[in-house]
C-alpha cells in the first residue's frame, strides 16, 4: 500500500453495527444518531420499524419483512448502522432466524441499557439471550450502560448475567449527555462543525451565520435567539466530546 492510499490516523472508522433492544426507552435512536453516527465514516443509516414517522435527513426507513434488502447492503458496504425500533423487534428476530448466518454481516451488536427500572433490565437480558440463541457470538455484543439513576443496583443484575454468558463489558461505557445532538440537529448545524473544526470564537461563528442567512443577527428577532442556542449547543458539544470519544473507543476501539 502506498502512502497516498494509506488511511489517516484521524480518519473515522468504518464498521457495521446493529442497535437493538426489546426494552422501550433504551436510547437506541439518540445513541445511533448522536455519538455513534458522528464518529463513523459516512455510515448508511437504516431504521427498521413499523410506521415511517421518525426519519431524519438521509436515514432509510424499512419494515422488518424487507430486512433481506438491508443485508444486501451490509454485504456490500463497510459503514452501516441498523437501528431496530421496538415495534419491529419480534419480526426482526424472526427474519434473522429465517436468514441463517445473517448475523455475520454485522461487526458489532450494540445494546443500549437504561437502569431506570428492573423491568428494563430484565427486558435487556432477554434481548441478549435471544441474540445469543440465534447465533450472534458473545464477543460481538457491546453494552452501553446509560444511567438515569446513580444507583448501580439494577446494573448488578445485568453484569452478573453478562459474566455468566461471558460477554465483555465496561461499566464506564455510558453517555452522560445526549441533549446537544438533538439541539444541533434542530439548528441545522453539523456536529463536526463544532467539534472537529473547533469554531475559533463566538464572533467568527456569528459572522458565518450572518453571511449565510443575510440577516443582522444582533437585531433580528429570530436570528439572535438562534445564535444564542447555537453557541450554547456548541459549548455543550465541546464539553462532552472527550467523554463521548472515550465511550466510543471502549465499545469499538479494538476494531480500528
Q: Report the CATH number that the domain containing residue 84 is assigned in CATH.
A: 3.40.50.300
192 lies in the same domain as 162 = no
Considering the domain boundaries, does residue 21 fall inside one? yes
Residue 46: what are its φ and ψ, rounded to 5°? Answer: -105, 135
State the pairing for strand pair 16-19/44-49: unpaired
Angle at 171 between CA 246 and CA 137, to 5 degrees: 90
Percentage of the chain with pLDDT > 90? 61
Q: Which of 123, 156, 175 is the last residue of a domain?
A: 175
CB proximity list for 170: less than 8 A, separation 6 or greater: 250
Considering the domain boundaries, does residue 205 fall inside one? yes
43 lies in the same domain as 141 = yes
Considering the domain boundaries, does residue 6 fall inside one? no
151 lies in the same domain as 171 = yes
107 lies in the same domain as 228 = no
Q: What is the greatest pairwise CA distance in the chain?
A: 62
Instruction: State the pLDDT at residue 206.
Output: 57
71 lies in the same domain as 117 = yes
What is the reported pTM? 0.86
Contact 174, 148 (CB under 8 A): no
Structurally, how many domains does the chain consist of?
2
Considering the domain boundaries, does residue 1 fall inside one? no
77 lies in the same domain as 158 = yes
pLDDT score of 165 more than 60: yes
201 lies in the same domain as 169 = no
Task: Tell me how far CA of residue 51 lies from CA of 17, 19, 70, 82, 189, in angstroms.
Answer: 22, 18, 17, 16, 27
Instruction: State the pLDDT at residue 121.
Output: 94
Considering the domain boundaries, does residue 76 fall inside one? yes
Q: Which of 121, 147, 175 is the last residue of a domain?
A: 175
Considering the domain boundaries, does residue 61 fall inside one? yes
pLDDT score of 101 more than 60: yes
Q: Which of 136, 158, 175 is the last residue of a domain?
A: 175
pLDDT score of 241 more than 70: yes
Angle at 36 between CA 77 and CA 130, to 5 degrees: 80
186 lies in the same domain as 164 = no
Contact 32, 45 (CB under 8 A): yes
Distance CA 214, CA 211 (A): 5
Task: Tell me how far CA of residue 177 lies from CA of 55, 74, 180, 182, 239, in angstroms.
Answer: 22, 30, 8, 11, 10
198, 195, 132: which is closest to 165 by C-alpha?
A: 132
| 3-state SS, residue 141 | strand
| 3-state SS, residue 221 | coil
Q: Which domain holds residue 234?
A: 180-243
Considering the domain boundaries, does residue 3 fall inside one? no
Q: What average pLDDT does the chain have? A: 86
Amino acid at each position: 500500500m502506498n502512502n497516498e492510499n494509506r488511511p489517516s490516523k484521524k480518519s473515522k472508522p468504518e464498521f457495521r453495527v446493529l442497535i437493538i433492544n426489546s426494552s422501550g426507552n433504551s436510547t437506541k435512536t439518540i445513541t445511533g444518531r448522536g455519538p455513534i453516527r458522528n464518529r463513523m465514516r459516512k455510515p448508511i443509516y437504516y431504521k427498521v420499524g413499523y410506521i415511517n414517522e421518525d426519519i431524519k435527513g438521509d436515514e432509510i426507513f424499512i419494515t422488518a419483512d424487507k430486512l433481506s434488502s438491508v443485508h444486501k447492503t451490509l454485504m456490500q458496504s463497510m459503514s452501516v448502522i441498523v437501528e431496530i425500533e421496538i415495534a419491529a423487534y419480534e419480526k426482526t428476530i424472526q427474519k434473522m432466524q429465517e436468514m441463517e448466518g445473517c448475523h455475520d454481516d454485522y461487526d458489532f451488536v450494540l445494546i443500549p441499557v437504561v437502569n431506570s427500572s428492573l423491568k428494563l433490565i430484565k427486558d435487556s437480558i432477554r434481548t441478549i439471550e435471544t441474540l445469543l440463541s440465534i447465533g450472534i457470538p458473545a464477543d460481538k455484543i457491546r453494552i452501553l450502560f446509560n444511567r438515569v439513576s446513580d444507583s448501580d443496583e439494577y446494573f448488578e443484575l445485568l453484569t452478573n448475567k453478562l459474566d455468566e454468558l461471558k460477554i465483555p463489558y465496561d461499566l464506564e461505557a455510558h453517555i452522560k449527555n445526549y441533549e446537544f445532538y438533538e439541539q444541533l440537529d434542530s439548528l441545522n448545524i453539523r456536529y463536526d462543525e463544532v467539534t472537529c473544526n473547533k469554531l475559533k470564537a463566538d464572533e467568527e461563528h456569528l459572522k458565518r451565520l450572518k453571511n449565510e442567512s443575510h440577516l443582522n443577527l444582533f437585531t433580528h428577532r429570530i436570528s439572535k435567539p438562534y445564535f444564542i442556542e447555537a453557541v450554547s449547543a456548541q459549548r455543550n458539544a465541546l464539553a462532552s466530546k472527550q467523554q463521548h470519544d472515550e465511550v466510543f473507543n471502549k465499545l469499538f476501539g479494538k476494531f480500528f
